[in-house]
Chain A
Amino acid sequence: MLGLGKKDLMFLLIVVLLTLTAPILLNPFPEGSAMAQFNAGYPDLMQRIAIFAIFAVGFNILFGLTGYLSFGHAAFIGVGSYAMVWMMKLLTMNILPGLILSIVMGGLFAVVIGYVSLRRSGIYFSILTLAFAQMCFNMAYSVLTPITGGENGLGPQIADPRILDAVNTSGSVPEVNLFGLSMRATYKMDLWGRLFQFNAGYYVCGILSVLMFYLALRIFRSPFGMMLRAIKSNQHRLNYTGLNSKPYMLAAFVISGMYAGLAGGLMAAMDPLAGADRMQWSASGEVVLMVILGGVGTMLGPVLGAGFIKYFENIFSKINDSVLHDWFSIFPKWLENLLVGILHPFVGQGWNLTLGVLFMLVVIFLPGGLIEGGQRIGRLFRRKPDAKGPAPASTPAE
């Protein structure tokens, strides 16, 4: 069904189920309890996770499959955001035209940048994409201010034309919506002492991310995906077989650019303000971190990485010294102070430090990311019964 094997279909179904029930699953702790701060089931965070999952899955199509490390994907995020906001300003507050335009614009930019950057490979490719992204960032900040709003960012105003919408009489900027369904509409359900929030914006992001995930799954399993893997394992050999690998590369680059454009569009749709800082190289670095942390070249890795980073970013910035003191109050006072002292630089404002350390550890010891970590642990448990049985027959016969 859906052009997938049985295993992949199950996999996709699980992903769909997880996405749909996320507002419940991510809210395991009762309201008001000490653990409630670890809940992630509120719309803003879930939207961000879903959006970055789209971005990371798309980036993985390029980096995971072909091994070309782009350091400039934030440019497409920015382009997508601006496209979205301009549609909101000119046409309608309905997000659909904006999303379409942001995908198209992301794709167009990717064609141009990709066509030039892909003339080179290896570090040159990384540096070229970085240079293009920084160029876009600098221009958005300076010359293109009439289009991008420069330092102030770009957001829909009351006076904007919005030619498709009904005349606005409310005196405030109309709500972002999808055919009348406001992105902020939240159905709250108080159940078992927990407050579950089913947010329209999240479901838009979530359903789109599932769709994008499905598309990526199809690409991974397709002959096209196979070709991209061949480029990763040995591009020279592939070229020697008489095959021109450039179009495949460009296609992968454009697809990942469109994913990034969509993610940027969604970002602007959920929070209608687009700023140039989204295009800075650090934003490109972030998606690389997500993909590496989750697991390069795997299906679930980028999603995991995006969720992991966004979730812990949120949690860590909430933890402060008094929370730490609370946790360690069971220890003697000196040990408590020592532990708090050690952990202090890593929490609160120090999330980036934690992320950097974590990232280095993953690159050094676990190049396959969380997925590989999971597999290793899984293997540990599966090995045990084997070890007691007869030795494997891998020893050569006498």
Chain B
Amino acid sequence: MDALILQTLNGLDKGSAYALIALGLTIIFGTLGVVNFAHGTLFMLGAFCAVTLQRIIGISETIIDPTKKDFLGNPLKVEVPYLQAWFGHDTAAAITNWSVPLSLLLTVPVMVGIGVVMERGLIKHFYKRSHADQILVTFGLAIVLQEVIKHFFGANPIPTPAPAEFAGSIDFGTMLGFPPNAIVYPYWRMIYFLFSLFVIGGVFAFLQFTTFGMVVRAGMADRETVGLLGINIDRRFTFMFGLAAVVAGTAGAMYTPINSPNFHMGMDFLVLSFVVVVVGGMGSLPGAVLSGFLLGILESYASMNWIKDIIPGIDQIIIYVIAIVVLLTRPRGLMGRKGVMED
């Protein structure tokens, strides 16, 4: 029982990442009708926003400290971060410590910018072309962005630690009456899960309770009619693309303490996120979220030892197996609407 709870918890944080990426993918597909193969790359770019902020904070000047001498008796050169020179030691240490959550402040504007430029500059020209062309051009874009990141940040994973306050783990088991150390869950993963719930809730509330969201929903249902009513639906859809980029980007930025970012993390997540979208139902936002968490948790169940003893290797392929079964038995996905993209 405790193992089951532990695996459920473990599945939640991976599921959160899947759900957030799949949510963005679905927003883009639902509004613009474009299959975005570069969406995983947006996730990766968000993660590298966190890395960039970490680097910016670390920029330092070299000054000569006259009070200290090195072993040859010369004045000692010390590297002092500008941050420390400006704000004093304590503030600088706090900012460095909290760099990952703070990076959201950088990630959001950057991702809006990237999303809008991408939509206006490239994807706009592909509305009329076939899905295959859309897949291909966004695939090309993904390669380019990935290689650009590799050029600037190198190919190795870059560790970006969570704030020290969240570095430990919480012993869930003792709260529920299990012996100590039975269910241990890192704080940051819990934060990530709560964060994803917050973002998902925010997106849904935005679509449900604002006028802007209402127009967007109307546009998703019937774009032409909304256009005829004198509403510039294209601009709103561009905004939605930016929003999807932000969702993916912040998901990536917050994920960095869980998994050190490298340049191909986006593609690794993308393939799975597509599967998530398909299982949830193309164009269904609740479906994407639900199947994201579902697949994340199932994947983590499948990695339990006694299940692996029954079916060896199931943990590697469970998501694909589920996707294949769903696609063949219920092509519109778990929560897809009837008749939408069913062939």
Q: Tally chain B residues at the interface, Cβ within 8 Å.
A: 39
CB proximity of A217 to chain B, nearest CB, Å: 24
Question: Does A120 interact with chain B (Cβ within 8 Å)?
Answer: yes
Which DSSP category, helix, strand, loop or mixed, fits chain A's interface? helix
Q: How far is the CA of A364 from the CA of B140 in the complex (A)?
A: 10
CB proximity of A317 to chain B, nearest CB, Å: 13
Question: Does A124 interact with chain B (Cβ within 8 Å)?
Answer: yes
Question: Does A116 interact with chain B (Cβ within 8 Å)?
Answer: yes
Question: Does A363 interact with chain B (Cβ within 8 Å)?
Answer: yes
B324 near A141: Cβ-Cβ < 8 Å: no
Question: Does A131 interact with chain B (Cβ within 8 Å)?
Answer: yes
Contact mask A133-164 → B, CB, 8 Å, 1/0? 01100110111100000000000000000000
CB proximity of B154 to chain A, nearest CB, Å: 10
Q: How far is the CA of A281 from the CA of B271 in the complex (A)?
A: 9
Chain B residues closer than 8 Å to A350, beta-carbon distance: 147, 151
Chain B residues closer than 8 Å to A352, beta-carbon distance: 143, 146-147
CB proximity of A350 to chain B, nearest CB, Å: 6
- Pair count A-B, CB < 8 A: 110
CB proximity of B13 to chain A, nearest CB, Å: 21
Contact mask A289-314 → B, CB, 8 Å, 1/0? 00010000000000000000000000
Contact mask A61-89 → B, CB, 8 Å, 1/0? 00000010100000000000000000000
Question: Does A357 interact with chain B (Cβ within 8 Å)?
Answer: yes
- Kindly identify, within residues 317 to 374 of chain A, every residue whose CB is under 8 Å from any CB belonging to chain B: 345, 350, 352-353, 355-357, 359-360, 363-364, 367
CB proximity of A341 to chain B, nearest CB, Å: 13
Question: Does B320 interact with chain A (Cβ within 8 Å)?
Answer: yes
A292 near B151: Cβ-Cβ < 8 Å: no
A144 nearest in chain B by CB position: B313
Which of B136, B146, B274, B312 touches A143 (beta carbons < 8 Å)?
Answer: B312
A124 near B140: Cβ-Cβ < 8 Å: no
Q: How far is the CA of A124 from the CA of B132 in the complex (A)?
A: 11
- 7 A-B pairs besides A120-B343, A130-B271, A359-B143 with CB distance below 8 A are A67-B130, A123-B341, A124-B331, A128-B327, A288-B139, A353-B148, A356-B146
Closest 7 CB pairs of A and B: A143-B313, A356-B143, A353-B147, A360-B140, A356-B144, A138-B316, A359-B140
Question: Using a CB–CB distance below 8 Å, which chain A residues touch chain B?
Answer: 67, 69, 116, 119-124, 126-128, 130-132, 134-135, 138-139, 141-144, 281-282, 285, 288, 292, 345, 350, 352-353, 355-357, 359-360, 363-364, 367
Q: 7 A-B residue contacts at CB 8 Å?
A: A67-B130, A121-B343, A122-B341, A123-B282, A126-B132, A127-B278, A357-B144
